[in-house]
Amino acid sequence: LPTLVSLGAISSFTKGVFHKYFTKVSAVVVILLGALSLVNGFALTGNVIGIDAPPIKDNPLVNLVDGKQVIDMNVNGLDYSPSAFTIVKDIPVEWRIDGTKAQGCAQVISVPNLGITEYLPRDQVKIIEFTAKENGIIRFSCSMGMAGPGTFIVVENKAPNRQAKQETFEDTLANGETQKLAMEISKERGFYPNTFTVKKGVPVELEIDAKFQLSGCMGVMVIPNYDVAHRLTLGKSTLTFTPTKEGKSIFTCSMGTPLGSFLVV
């Protein structure tokens, strides 16, 4: 609105050839502002023009704690960091948002598809809880659609398969052999699963099945605590290491973006 008022005021003082060119420039500016407003309006309704499912590198670590998917996100100005998450359908989500550095309309976060609109306090972390009931993409933004936008990619609950893998893992530990794990990388689910529990001192063999060719920093998987770097090729490859320290060890891309973790017990 201030921009339109300013254009109108300046236009009233222009004359001749300059007025002609100024009018054309003003028309272009008004069209651009209209397009931006349209995009923001779609964001408020949960539909963002021109935004597809986010790339894998934007899918950060989601921790499963006490039966909940725990997500941490920061708001810096009008930006969300991280801005895209892969979550599992029908499993409760605990969304922890640090909005102490949020500015303007970003102090309010809105998830239209879930009926969520919450104020982000400046002195503490805001916790929002919800459960996604359908597969697909859920978008979130500020109250005016200007921040972010951010996305949740909701995937099918594969809990029964995970349980079967866990039983195999326990059998492996009982035999004192190599801990054999499996992980798939796909555009639909990202790095899945992305959390593993392993035993200290027992060698780990992680079979990685990349369904498409990763590029850039995502082409290399790194375990910083063990100085391990593994190139991710199309198809299956195996990463090996021996955990020697109890606790959580993350794995990242070559630029340090967290992708998942190993819990060493």
pLDDT level of residue 35 (50, 70, 90 thresholds): low
Mean pLDDT of the chain: 77
Residue-wise pLDDT for 170-208, tens only, equals: 444 444 578 999 999 998 888 999 999 899 999 999 999
Distance CA 47, CA 214 (A): 28
pLDDT score, position 138: 92
Q: Which residue has the higher pLDDT, 131 or 142?
A: 131
Of all residues in the chain, what percent carry a pLDDT higher than 90? Answer: 30
User: What is the pLDDT, as a whole number, of residue 144?
Assistant: 73
Closest CA to 43 of 99, 105, 89, 122: 105
* More confident position, 96 or 8: 96
Question: Which DSSP string corresponds to 187-217?
Answer: TTTEEES-EEEE-TTS-EEEEEEESS---GG
pLDDT value at position 18?
A: 60
The conformation of residue 146, written as its DSSP 8-state character, comes to -
Q: Which range has the top average pLDDT, 4-8, 55-59, 174-178?
A: 174-178
The predicted-structure confidence for 146-165, as pLDDT tens digits, reads as follows: 887 899 989 887 654 444 34
Residue 210 has pLDDT above 90, yes or no: yes
- Residues linked to residue 96 through DSSP beta bridges, in sequence order: 72, 127
E strand or H helix at 43? helix 16-44
Among residues 154, 179, 183, which one has the least CA distance to residue 87?
A: 154
**Which three-class secondary structure state does DSSP give residue 145?**
coil
Answer whether residue 52 shows pLDDT above 60: no
Residue 65 pLDDT grade (very low, low, confident, very high; cuts 50, 70, 90): confident
Cβ(251)–Cβ(261) under 8 Å? yes
**Between these two residues, 43 and 121, which has the higher pLDDT value?**
121
Q: What is the pLDDT of residue 251?
A: 92
